[in-house]
Amino acid sequence: MLAFGIRVFVNMAQKTFFLLFLMLFGSGLTIAQNDSIIQLEEVVLSDARLYRFAAGIKIKTLSDSLVERTNPTFTDMLRFNSSIYLKENGYGMVSSPSFRGTNAQHTAVVWNGININSPLTGQTDFGTLIPQNYDRIAIRSGGGSVQYGSGAIGGSIHLNNLLAFEKHYDNVLQMGYGSYNTQNLNFKSSYGSKSLALGFGMNYVTSDNDYEYLGREQKNENGEYHHLNFNIDAGYFFSKQLLLKLHHNTFFGDRNLSGTLTAPSDDKYKDINTRSLLEMVRFGNEKLMKFKLAHLFERYEYYANKNRPDYSLGSVNTIIAGYDHKQAWGDFTLNGLLDYKRIEGKGSSLEDAKRNQWSGTLLATHHATEQFRYGFSIRKDWVNDFESPLLLALNGSYKLSDFYLLKTSASKNFRLPTFNDLYWLGAGNLNLVPETSYQVELGQLFKVGNASLELTAFYIDLENMIQWRPNASGLWVPQNIQEARQYGLEAVLNYKKAWGAHHLELDGGWAYTRSVDKATEKQLLYVPLHKINGSLNYSFRRYELYTQALLNHSVYITTDESNELPGYTVVNLGGHHNVLKLEKLSLKMGLRINNIFNEEYQSVAYRPMPNRNFLIQIIAKF
Amino acid sequence: MNTRNVCIWALAIGILTSCDNDDDEVIDLPEGDYEKGIYVTNEGPFNNGSGTVSFISEDFTNVEHAIFSKVNNEDLGNIVQSMSFDNDLAYIVANVSNKINIVDRDTFEKQAEITEGLNNPRYFVAIDGTGYVSNWGDTADESDDFIAVVDLTSNTVISSISVPLGPERLLVNGNTLYVTNSGAFSTNNQISVIDASTNSVTTTITVGDMPNSMQFDNAGNLWVLASGNPGYLGETGGALSKINTATNEVVNFDFETTQHPGSLGIDEGIFYYQMGGAVYKMDPSDDTLPTEEYISGLSFYNMTLNEGKLYGTDAKDYASNGTLSIYDITTKDSMTTLTMGIIPGGVYFNE
């Protein structure tokens, strides 16, 4: 049944989406079953606008089974299952995405509706996310600053926890052991009744990460890491009209930063991230009001030498308060949001960093006819540091026939300068302005039987990009000096077939990306011209076999295109056997072989990636 | 992957406005013959990668890149800081890799390496069979900076001499070694004077903040140019210090607070240095600093003088190949500009 929900393209009828939720949570929606769809969406998902205001937007939702069979790392999950290119500073280390040829600061990470990119660096380190911790992970391509704020330019990654108001008590325990003494433990527990939903999750990942460098007498030194993560989710209906929701997430990271082929390392990095969100939702007739209170905290300690007590640090506290009002008139929905954000940063190299930010957003969507739906939205931020631009987005989809759907969107987006850019001791530049982007895309979705093909062409024009360059006196300072354009084509193919007890699913993606510095007409660093990813999944009764492949074109590592890192092809192979299947207990055993052909490759220059390696998994559901 | 086909297809469906994929042609020379010419050390990308050495023929017409890895099929190391000759050998210091590669100065074939006893090595100099290497030590520790003393027969570090924070440039006069201590990631203003016969510090001389270059004039005085502190360390102006090597007496020529000079060089007994995008010229007998720019509109990452020519490196955006520009110091004419590796710094003459 879950297989049905493997891919939710938003262009699918909203009703289908609703039905999907009904299927997933069965009778759990009884409390609100006489109410409108906008209310039902909100009960399950705090970030309900992700799907509601998305006519014409390309969204890919990753299935539970995909997350289940994935590696312990979020990076691997994305690079094998999306067109996003990720570069890792060695396996398990700092990982940054390039979405549609943009850089890591142009990918917003959104946790239960809240943008969690660090105010210090403007990005999220994908090495610190654990996929098993979220109930639903979605990739939204293209500009999304109106809805999700600073940095949603290449696209955004959505990490959502769901609440199920139905009578249930489910537990999932997942354990893995693999090469380089890699161990992971994931536990997830969920309890629910008609008025109460509770969820608890815990993840622990550790690895010596000391793999041999293929073809060399060197191994990955100082690469060990330990990650610990907790999350708590709760929802309670005080009455039919009043729902209180809580989401919390705490992450502890303790990583050594591995060396390179030419430089040893004894660096160490410790960080803690906590995220808390409290929401009070009031349901009315065809309308909904929501008060939101959130607190984000991050702190890092960087040890240049792990054997010494000295470290440099940075920490940020963010408080968000928001009011959200949604109203539907038949097929037309309007959503107004008012948010206040207060950010305070401290650190060894930061001068007094504070930001007050007010945001006003208006979103509208209209399902004009069965075939045609469109939306428009507008946002304005008032930030104490600088003037922020007025943001706009227009999007729509038109279903020409049962097998052809046309989608388009255009938007203006922004990225605010980070605290490091503004307040770095001796270098911070208070004259910076936000980066802005104008972007447009055109998508076509073809569906024939069990096969679908989605083709998307995009164009991004990025202005006032912030780069650190030496000034006249040789000091490195951030400046709004780069302009770039990104354009390309993405193809996503999906094919499913079932016969008897056999199930087959093929998933593939190809991305062609040009990302060009306008001044030099050269391709930007670490943007592959081509990236191809594919997976094939076959199951028969209690057996499941899968393979994943990734083809990465070469990337330039100098701005004059004089040096490049060769392309690579990496293939993984894995399988599961459901050894025990009782009413209240199911037990799955799995084996996964990563990099089965022992490809020698580097994601970042001079940092070789792992050779062939193994992972044994046990998944118990009870 | 055939790029052209993709482009044609993309153009056909009318999405892409331009498709280009041109590569710059690089002409390679036969390797292994570097008897006469110029070596340029390129630091290389900071985080991950290797520095390189480029070779330029005497007449500037032939350039060969990354000669160490070509000849020896291995990387030099991360952040190639400097190079130094001693008899038939050249010593190349890779800072982050904590490594000195020793090569034949005419063929660039690797002879040996020094990896033990170094910590953040910067510069190397040899005095009579003994090598001296300035080391920052652990950058979190402001009191572990040292000069490593190397037995050049066994190529092992045999002892170390403790010096103030941030030892950098080394200059030799007979048996005396002068070390600029410029403060590593912070600031300092000391010159250590070391007696190479006893390997001990005989005295420490105070000069301007952040000394960056040293030269002897024809009368045997030591001149030290200091850049002064940048704003975030409490801005101070540069200083040119004249040191009588017999008495260690210092005479300072002070710059304005916002002036930060660098790259002191000497040719035919005349000093040249660069500051704020210009080159200045000064006779050591002058009583004051020059006020007039000698050559304007030049901004070099590093500048070196040799036999009537000025060699200036440009690191561009620090993430692409830089250049070396050569000027005739008398006529001020630009002679040529050549492409180097990533962040070209030191220029060395194999004569």
Q: What is the mean pLDDT of residues A281-292?
A: 91
Sign of CA dihedral A552, A487, A48, A407: negative
Q: Which residue among B50, B141, B320 sits closest to A559, beta carbon to beta carbon?
A: B320
Pairwise CA distance, residues B212 & B261, whole Å: 9
B-chain CB neighbours of A262 within 8 Å are: 48-50, 75-78, 94, 96-97
Q: What is the pLDDT of residues A523-573, one digit of tens each?
A: 999 999 999 999 999 999 999 999 999 999 999 999 999 999 999 999 999
Q: Domain A2-340+351-621 belongs to what topology? A: Maltoporin; Chain A (2.40.170)
Pairwise CA distance, residues A44 & A64, whole Å: 16
Which pTM value belongs to this model?
A: 0.88
Q: Is A160 helix (H, G, I), strand (E, B) or coil?
A: strand
Residue B140: the pLDDT is 81
Q: Is residue A313's pLDDT more than 60? A: yes
What single-letter amino acid sits at A403? F
The values of phi and psi at residue A420, to 5°, are -60, -40
- pLDDT in tens for each of the 351 residues of chain B? 333 333 333 333 333 333 333 334 444 445 568 989 999 999 998 878 999 999 999 999 999 999 999 999 999 999 999 999 999 999 999 999 999 999 999 999 999 999 999 999 999 999 999 999 999 999 888 899 999 999 999 999 999 999 999 999 999 999 999 999 999 989 999 999 999 999 999 999 999 999 999 999 999 999 999 999 988 888 999 999 999 999 999 999 999 999 999 999 999 999 999 998 899 999 999 999 999 999 999 889 999 999 999 999 999 888 899 999 999 999 999 999 999 999 999 999 998
Pairwise CA distance, residues A450 & A344, whole Å: 51
Q: At what angle do helices A37-44 and A14-25 cross, to 10 degrees?
A: 50
Q: Is residue A272's pLDDT more than 60? A: yes
B43/A contact by beta carbon, under 8 A = no
Q: Which residue among B24, B139, B317 sits closest to A562, beta carbon to beta carbon?
A: B24
Q: What is the mean pLDDT of residues A31-47?
A: 66
**Which residue reads 């080391």 in tokens?**
B135
Residue B331: the pLDDT is 95
**Which residue reads 């289940």 in tokens?**
A68
Residue A319: the pLDDT is 97
Residue A68: the pLDDT is 76
A-chain CB neighbours of B342 within 8 Å are: 558, 563
Residue A20: the pLDDT is 41
Q: Is A39 helix (H, G, I), strand (E, B) or coil?
A: helix
Residue A469: the pLDDT is 83
CA distance A407 to chain B (A): 15
Residue A225: the pLDDT is 94
Q: Write A608-614 long-range contacts (CB < 8 A, 24+).
A: A608/A213, A608/A214, A608/A216, A608/A220, A608/A261, A609/A88, A609/A90, A609/A91, A609/A570, A610/A91, A610/A179, A610/A180, A610/A211, A610/A220, A611/A211, A611/A212, A611/A214, A613/A178, A613/A179, A613/A180, A613/A211, A614/A178, A614/A179
In terms of Cβ atoms closer than 10 Å to its own Cβ (0-12, 13-18, 19+), residue B94 is buried
Residue A21: the pLDDT is 43
Q: What is the pLDDT of residues A215-262, one digit of tens each?
A: 888 999 999 999 999 999 999 999 989 999 999 999 999 999 999 999
Q: What is the pLDDT of residues A415-436, one digit of tens each?
A: 999 999 999 988 889 999 999 9
pLDDT band of residue A39 (cuts 50, 70, 90) is: confident
A401/B contact by beta carbon, under 8 A = no
Residue B14: the pLDDT is 33
Q: With pLDDT > 70 as the criterion, what percentage of chain A qualifies?
A: 93
Using only C-alpha atoms, chain B has a radius of gyration, in whole angstroms, of 22
pLDDT band of residue A38 (cuts 50, 70, 90) is: low
CB atoms within 10 A of CB B336: 13
Q: What is the pLDDT of residues A49-88, one digit of tens each?
A: 888 898 999 999 988 878 777 766 899 999 999 999 998 8
The values of phi and psi at residue A180, to 5°, are 60, 30
B-chain CB neighbours of A552 within 8 Å are: none
How many contiguous H segments (helices) and E segments (strands) does chain B have? 2, 28
Q: Is residue A380's pLDDT more than 90? A: yes
B 224-253: CB under 8 A from A: 230-233
Q: With pLDDT > 90 as the criterion, what percentage of chain A qualifies?
A: 75
Residue A16: the pLDDT is 41
What single-letter amino acid sits at A175? M
A304–B78: do the CB atoms touch at under 8 Å? Answer: no
Q: Is residue A6's pLDDT more than 70? A: no
Pairwise CA distance, residues A119 & A320, whole Å: 13
- Tokens matching residue A28: 């759990």
User: What is the residue-averaged pLDDT of chain A?
Assistant: 89
A566/B contact by beta carbon, under 8 A = no
Q: Which residue among B10, B140, B320 sits closest to A562, beta carbon to beta carbon?
A: B320
- Tokens matching residue B350: 């194999």
pLDDT band of residue A12 (cuts 50, 70, 90) is: very low
Q: Is residue A308's pLDDT more than 70? A: yes
Residue B24: the pLDDT is 40
What single-letter amino acid sits at B78? N
